[in-house]
Amino acid sequence: MQKPKILIIDDEEDIVFTIQEICHFAGYDSVTASNGQEGYELYKQVKPDLVIVDFHMPGWDGLTTVKKLKALDEAVGILVLTVDERQEVSDRFIEVGATDFAIKPIKAPDLIARINVNLKISQIQRETQRAKENIFVEKGISAATLSLIVNFMNNQESEVTIEEISAGVSLAYQTVHRYVQHLLDMGKIDVLPIYGQLGRPKNKYKVIDMLKK
């Protein structure tokens, strides 16, 4: 069985080395590029199963690189490395096609879990593409990722927080937040504020209609 191939795009050599070692440990093949332009050209040659790209790079930044790669291959999974945990940054990346995020500094178990789930999402998107169905529900919302989150929520006995969904499906908090907001906007889930003794209430979510699995 052929090993999954990961394209790593980052200008920091120590980060690239660390990710390569993690990929090797987890049983993946990897190829590397030091900037977005180089990664774009390398992608056309090797056709990887997943791309890991840094946010801040000289030349093309992560956002531009994601846009360019998605123009080449709409179904490819792209995992963005960033130290910026702001939701608005994550939303911008999701809108141009990123599938998930890994927060620096990199932790091997977290990155391996992210890679595994995003490889599955990418595979589903390719199967959907071959079936000539819509890969995206709307701009930035992947049907495969949406299905993964909805299925998890449907299988829970009670309401869940975004943190619980994130842990359950091995996607970044920011990614799950974006999809939960989409489900709220569509009227498919309900939010239940849970009030503690101090601070703001913690929101929990439940599916209103049993969505298609």
DSSP 8-class letter at 116: H
- Which pLDDT does position 213 carry in this prediction? 43
**Class of the CATH domain delimited by 5-131:** alpha beta
- Average pLDDT in the chain: 90
When pLDDT is averaged across residues 122-133 and rounded to a whole number, the result is 76
List pLDDT tens digits, range 25-70: 999 999 999 999 999 999 999 999 999 999 999 999 999 999 999 9
Residue 156 vs residue 133, higher pLDDT: 156
The pTM score is: 0.77
Q: Decide whether 5-131 matches 141-207 in CATH topology.
A: no
Is it the case that residue 197 has pLDDT exceeding 70? no
Confidence grade of residue 125 (pLDDT, cut at 50, 70, 90)? confident
Q: Tally the residues of the chain.
A: 213
Residue 184: what residue type?
Answer: L
Picking from 8-17, 119-128, 190-199, which range would have the lowest pLDDT averaged per residue? 190-199
* Cβ-based neighbours of 141, under 8 Å, separated by 6 or more: 94, 178, 179, 182
- Which pLDDT does position 172 carry in this prediction? 93
Tokens of 3: 């090993």
The neighbouring-strand residues paired with 8 are 32, 52
Contact of 120 with 135, CB cutoff 8 Å: no
Helix (H) / strand (E) element for 201: namely none
List pLDDT tens digits, range 140-176: 788 889 989 999 999 998 999 999 999 999 999 999 9
CA distances from 6 to 20, 26, 154, 173, 180 (A): 9, 11, 31, 23, 28
* Cβ-based neighbours of 77, under 8 Å, separated by 6 or more: 49, 50, 51, 99, 100, 118, 119, 121, 122, 125
Residues 126 and 67: their CA atoms lie apart, in Å, by 18
Q: 130: exposed, middle or buried (C-beta count within 10 Å: 0-12, 13-18, 19+)?
A: exposed
Do you find a cis peptide bond into 109, omega within 30 degrees of 0?
no
3-state secondary structure 74-90: CCCEEEEEECCCCHHHH
Contact of 34 with 123, CB cutoff 8 Å: no
Is it the case that residue 135 has pLDDT exceeding 90? no
When pLDDT is averaged across residues 107-111 and rounded to a whole number, the result is 93
- Which pLDDT does position 104 carry in this prediction? 87
Angle, in degrees to the nearest 10, between helices 162-169 and 143-154 = 110
Domain coordinates in residue numbering, the chain: 5-131, 141-207
**CATH node for 141-207:** 1.10.10.10
Percent of the chain with pLDDT over 70: 92
- Which pLDDT does position 119 carry in this prediction? 94
- Which pLDDT does position 140 carry in this prediction? 78
Closest CA to 76 of 140, 38, 36, 125: 125
